[in-house]
Amino acid sequence: MRVVGAILLGLGIIIGLAAFNKDVSVDTPYGRVNNMGLMDDRRNYLMAAGVCAIVGAIFIAMDRKKED
């Protein structure tokens, strides 16, 4: 269970970093503006990353309690 937790925690961190680097603006004749659809995509990726990281941390913590 500890390996699965470590994988989920790492996956959550990677997805979170990718989401923060996602460009949410688009070019228009008036300049760059924020695209609501891209902002929603980034929010969804951040929520998924948070869930993965939290579940991974819980798996790691539960495995440590079993060893004690």
Q: What average pLDDT does the segment 29-34 reach?
A: 94
Read off the pTM: 0.83
Longest dimension (CA), the chain: 63
Question: How high is the pLDDT of residue 6?
Answer: 95
Question: How high is the pLDDT of residue 1?
Answer: 85
State yes or no: pLDDT of 63 exceeds 90: no
How many DSSP H helices and E strands does the chain contain? 2, 2
Here the tokens at position 13 are: 């961190």
- d(Cα 47, Cα 49) in Å, to the nearest integer? 5
State yes or no: pLDDT of 68 exceeds 60: no
Q: Give the ranges where 21-35 is alpha helix by DSSP (H).
A: none
Domain boundaries, the chain: 2-67
State yes or no: pLDDT of 28 exceeds 80: yes
SS3 31: strand
Work out the mean pLDDT of the chain and round it to a whole number. 92
